Amino acid sequence: MRLRQKPWADKEFAENPMYIPNPRQLSSRWQGLFGNDNPMHLEIGCGKGRFIVENALRHPDINFIAMEKFEKIICMALRHAGLAAGCLPNLRLFREDARDIVEIFSQGELSRIYINFCDPWRARGKWRKRRLTHRDFLAKYESIMTDDIKEIHFKTDNVPLFNFSVAELEEAGWRLQNVTYDLHNSGFTENIMTEYEERFAAEGLKICRLEAQKLDGR
């Protein structure tokens, strides 16, 4: 996407220390970037950054990474992060497509992946393979996660996509927990809303959420 309507975008990319311009060069070296051995969590499709920034603020003992496909959106996430907290030492953001995730991270680098309100695509034919919870993507995620623990946290307002995701995860051997079709009335207290989620909730839409986990390489 072009950035002409964001005259500050080039400056944000050039000067924001949380922005990673060449993330593929860090494959197998992400831990060194943060300078510690803390767990690394990734959000795929971070939008304007509200969710990942709040997580980084609440959990300074975890390293957070956010990826977003569109330049116009990632620059807004960078600005939001800077305005909210200056430079967060445990947060980095970059622009890439999730299809290339195995070229960006290596085996054992991530322990948790967040997928929030992704494009549901169409359920038929080749379109379903674009869903970020399709089994092909799940195999990629598993290949770059730690041996001892692998977690995927997923939220959507789209019930057909949620049902599809439940089926794909179970078929791939992931153990599901905290599954709800009405998150905001579920009693779950640790929720951090995204921008989309706040808007959908205000419209009266119910939010679906799940956690998927594999332990000890199983």
Q: Where are the alpha helices (DSSP H) in 25-158?
A: 30-34, 50-58, 71-85, 135-143
- N-to-C CA span, the chain: 40
3-state secondary structure of 164: helix
State the Cα–Cα distance between residues 88 and 37, nearest whole angstrom: 17
Active-site pick, 97, 119, 147, 182: 119
Q: Does 119 participate in catalysis according to the annotation?
A: yes
Contact at 8 Å (CB) between 38 and 63?
yes
- What's the one-letter identity of residue 193? M
What proportions of the chain, in percent to the nearest 5, are helix, strand and coil? 40, 20, 40
3-state secondary structure of 213: strand
CB atoms within 10 A of CB 37: 8
Q: Which helix (H) or strand (E) holds 5?
A: none
Task: Tell me the torsion sign for CA atoms 126, 138, 58, 109.
Answer: negative
Contact at 8 Å (CB) between 76 and 94?
no
**Residues 161, 120, 180, 65, Cα dihedral to 10°:** 130
Give the residue numbers marked as catalytic.
119
